[in-house]
């Protein structure tokens, strides 16, 4: 697809758009051997784009990062012959060999990243990497101040105490006897949020991850996805 050169370069990780415009103005970018002009369009699949006479990454070597708004009922697995529906079904038209970055339970909805960049996945999912994950949980029963304090301090899960976390009470529906809480954790223990509330005998009825570090679900409808820009990818790797 034809796009403005500065947009192509920015998407391929050569810096912010303004920086990429400068590269063009400085005459460092050529398209099919000819020095490119600012505003020029090109198709990275068809044209040879070079920076200082070195070809930019082509689609074969390019890493892509996808933000999916996962619906409930899809397994986070790359290949499972027994799974009826997997998140891979939702990104079928992406022609890169994607894998999910971490996991959400089958019935958890919301923000899930997929990529073909194994190094990125190692960074983001490494236990020492601190990245906030925000969930909205619908919980059976009335969650009390005391419950929140207990959970915020950490509970014993899989033989180890969970790190302190933040829980914001968002309301109680008397008719349905359901509470809504925002839960912000940076760990990724299996079924962590569900197990936290189960430990105080308040089952989670619905769980949605709404944020991952600086990323949100804004503009991405359930069951659809968008690509991350290189700026977003770089910002994610720098999250502390």
CB–CB of 36/5 below 8 Å? yes
Say how many C-beta atoms besides its own lie within 10 A of residue 155's C-beta.
Answer: 18
192 binds ligand URA (CB under 6 A): yes
- The active-site residue out of 43, 53, 93, 105 is 105
Q: Is 105 a catalytic residue?
A: yes
Interaction mask 199-218, ligand URA, x per CB under 6 A: --------x-----------
Q: Do 113 and 237 meet the contact criterion of CB atoms below 8 Å apart?
A: no
Minimum distance, C-beta of residue 190 to ligand URA, in the bound complex (Å): 8
Q: Which residue has the tokens 């079924």?
A: 191
Q: Provide the minimum distance between the beta carbon of 183 and ligand URA in the complex, in angstroms, as a whole number.
A: 8
Segment near ligand URA (CB under 6 A), from 24-32, 102-110, 143-151, 162-170?
Answer: 102-110
The whole-angstrom separation of Cα 49 and Cα 72 is 42
CB atoms inside a 10 Å sphere around CB 191? 14
Which of 10, 24, 104, 215 binds ligand URA (CB under 6 A)? It is 104
For residue 108, the minimal CB distance to ligand URA (Å) is 3
Angle at 205 between CA 204 and CA 208, to 5 degrees: 85
Of residues 143, 167, 193, 217, which one binds ligand URA by CB under 6 A? 193
CB 64 within 8 A of CB 115: yes
Active site residues: 105
């Amino acid at each position: 697809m034809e796009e403005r050169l500065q947009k192509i370069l920015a998407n391929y990780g050569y810096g912010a758009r303004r920086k990429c415009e400068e590269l063009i103005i400085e005459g460092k970018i050529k398209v099919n051997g000819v020095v490119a002009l600012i505003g020029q369009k090109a198709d990275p699949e068809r044209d040879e784009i070079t920076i200082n006479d070195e070809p930019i990454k082509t689609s074969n070597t390019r890493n892509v990062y996808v933000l999916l708004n996962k619906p409930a009922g899809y397994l986070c697995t790359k290949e499972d012959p027994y799974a009826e529906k997997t998140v891979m079904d939702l990104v079928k038209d992406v022609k890169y060999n994607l894998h999910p970055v971490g996991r959400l339970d089958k019935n958890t909805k919301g923000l899930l990243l997929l990529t073909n960049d194994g190094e990125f996945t190692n960074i983001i999912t490494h236990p020492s990497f601190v990245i906030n994950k925000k969930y909205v949980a619908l919980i059976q029963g009335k969650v009390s101040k005391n419950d929140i304090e207990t959970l915020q301090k950490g509970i014993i899960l899989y033989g180890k105490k969970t790190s302190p976390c933040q829980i914001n009470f968002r309301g109680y529906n008397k008719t349905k006897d359901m509470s809504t809480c925002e839960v912000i954790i940076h760990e990724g223990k299996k079924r962590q949020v569900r197990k936290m509330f189960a430990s105080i005998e308040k089952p989670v009825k619905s769980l949605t991850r709404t944020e991952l570090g600086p990323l949100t679900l804004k503009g991405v409808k359930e069951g659809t996805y968008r690509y991350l820009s290189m700026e977003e990818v770089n910002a994610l790797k720098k999250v502390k």
